[in-house]
Structure 1
Amino acid sequence: MRGKNKLGNVYLFIVFLILYTPILYLMYYSFNSGGSMRNFEGFTLEWYTEVFQDTRLLIIALNTLIIALLSAAISTILGIIGALAIMYVKKLRTKNTLQTLNNVLIVSPDVIIGASFLIFFTIIGIKLGFTSVLLSHIAFSVPIVVIMVLPKLQEMSSSLIDAARDLGASNWDILSKVILPYITPGIFAGFFMALTYSLDDFAVTFFVTGNGFSTLSVEIYSRARQGISLEINALSTLIFLFTIALVIGYYFINQRNVKSAAAGVRKL
């Protein structure tokens, strides 16, 4: 048994090494004064200074953050409604159909989704730019939130709702004081997943951005095509660290919710 555990740990170590080595390589050369990714000539923060002095890049970063926060917030609300709708559908066939339709958007290739949105926005006359990017990010984030919230709803015992009804709670009281507090970990998970997906998305965004509007992923791609610049390394490092901060923040929020729930059980 110990041998199997050691083998599993070695396997995980190799997997994480393969995943993180390119990122660490990129981060390492973001401090290179030589201006290339071949020879490390010395430590410098020049490329990070250039990032913060690039007004256009800062505006694009702000656009990306606004899109991510708005799409995550809206998709979280819609995802909660969608998960509740799926959970409380009475017909099993209808419930399975809704879950399948939700999962199809997750497994569909981003290129197909992006091209579909491009055709759709062109047909209905929506100008490519902020609105088209926001709508597309909401669309592909909602299924993610549903996937995060639905298991928490399925874990919740129906006796909690029955007890609330016996005590005279209205439907709104049940939703706001019983269901939503119980599924809070799933809501936070869905929000942060939607936020990171929006920040990182390239394929869909590439199709629906217009002239005068861009996001960081599209901008990095455009600059990389013009030639390797360590400013891209610095920018990518900052994005990676920001994503790590989001994950750590979610972890601590989740831990606090678990401790609060445990404290509530002990009081009972």
Structure 2
Amino acid sequence: MKVSRLYLAFVFFVLYMPIFYLIYYSFNSGGTMHHFESFTLDWYKEVFADTRLLIIVLHTIIIALLSSSLATIIGVLGAIAIYYAKHRWKQTLLTLNNVLIVSPDVIIGASFLILFTIAGIQLGFTSVLLSHIAFSIPIVVLMVLPKLQEMSPTLIDAARDLGANEWNVLTKVVLPYITPGIFAGFFMALTYSFDDFAVTFFVTGNGFSTLSVEIYSRARQGISLSVNALSTLLFLFTLFLVVVYYIMTQRASVKGGKK
């Protein structure tokens, strides 16, 4: 038991120590990541004074919200379709969905680049949005499908016996029951879209960029603690999404327990 806890602590240390190291030096007035001179917020002021960067942040938020919302709608419908499909088709569709989850981002990004080039779609906002919707849908399906599988068929049978049509069954029985899965899928898709680099790098065009691509471009130009500050803000925003999702799931479980 102690060995497993030590191993878990070591894993978390390896994962989080570089992030805390980056955050720590984002407050360094020295301009390097080798020696901490004194505390300063100048790098954060530089980030917020950069108009181009603020526009990129706006682009990233818009892409994340739009793609996660549309992917949630499509993913919920897809999960319901898989749930009601025949056993043979269900396994096939679920396998195809899982293949997209485990496929390398580089292959997905290159595939989208070839597709958009053949289709004549100009690389930019539209190509990034379509790509983010596509790789977010399987995530939503995986979040929603377990909730559908937990749902007792007697709930639907009871609703039909009481005179509910298919639309009422969907909107008043199925969707309320799988709401925690829908929120989980939405926030997972939002986080993936906000943080994605590999796919976005392939399908973004001149004049349009997202935070992940911008951070990579700035890091290649040399060490600047403004990159640390920007990365810190991105990490805190992602952490905020996780906390919001946790609070919402806790409230949903409490309400479910009361019922």
Q: Same fold (TM over 0.5)?
A: yes
Instruction: Kindly provide the amino acid, as one letter, of the partner of residue 171 in structure 2.
Output: S
Deviations 1:114-167 (A, max 9, x none): 000000001011110000000000000000000000010001100000011111
Please state whether the residue corresponding to 1:23 is helix, strand or coil.
helix
The alignment status of 1:32 with 2:14, answered yes or no, reads no
Aligned match of 1:212 in 190, 207, 214?
Answer: 207
The alignment status of 1:173 with 2:168, answered yes or no, reads yes
The alignment status of 1:109 with 2:104, answered yes or no, reads yes
**In the alignment, which residue of structure 2 is the partner of 1:57?**
53
Show structure 1 runs of 4+ deviating over 6 A.
Answer: none
**In the alignment, which residue of structure 1 is the partner of 2:122?**
127
Deviations 1:214-242 (A, max 9, x none): 00000011111100100000000001001
**In the alignment, which residue of structure 1 is the partner of 2:239?**
244
Unaligned runs of 5+ in 1: none
What TM-score results when the alignment is normalised by the length of structure 2?
0.99
The alignment status of 1:73 with 2:65, answered yes or no, reads no
Please state whether the residue corresponding to 2:240 is helix, strand or coil.
helix
Q: Shift of residue 250 of structure 1?
A: 0.5
Cα distance in structure 1, aligned partners of 2:11 and 2:170: 42
Instruction: Kindly provide the amino acid, as one letter, of the partner of residue 81 in structure 1.
Output: L
Cα distance in structure 1, aligned partners of 2:185 and 2:5: 29
The alignment status of 1:83 with 2:79, answered yes or no, reads yes
**In the alignment, which residue of structure 2 is the partner of 1:228?**
223
Cα distance in structure 2, aligned partners of 1:172 and 1:130: 35
Aligned match of 2:198 in 194, 203, 212?
Answer: 203
Q: Shift of residue 7 of structure 1?
A: 2.3
Please state whether the residue corresponding to 2:123 is helix, strand or coil.
coil
Cα distance in structure 2, aligned partners of 1:12 and 1:183: 32
Please state whether the residue corresponding to 2:129 is helix, strand or coil.
helix
Aligned match of 2:137 in 132, 137, 142?
Answer: 142
**In the alignment, which residue of structure 2 is the partner of 1:260?**
255
Cα distance in structure 1, aligned partners of 2:226 and 2:150: 47
**In the alignment, which residue of structure 2 is the partner of 1:156?**
151
Unaligned runs of 5+ in 2: none
Q: Shift of residue 8 of structure 1?
A: 2.0
Q: Shift of residue 11 of structure 1?
A: 1.5
Deviations 1:56-98 (A, max 9, x none): 00000000000000000000000000000000012x1111110
Instruction: Kindly provide the amino acid, as one letter, of the partner of residue 231 in structure 1.
Output: S
Instruction: Kindly provide the amino acid, as one letter, of the partner of residue 124 in structure 1.
Output: A
Cα distance in structure 1, aligned partners of 2:181 and 2:211: 28
**In the alignment, which residue of structure 2 is the partner of 1:100?**
95
Cα distance in structure 2, aligned partners of 1:220 and 1:228: 11
Cα distance in structure 2, aligned partners of 1:18 and 1:46: 29
Q: Shift of residue 43 of structure 1?
A: 0.2
Cα distance in structure 1, aligned partners of 2:10 and 2:163: 56
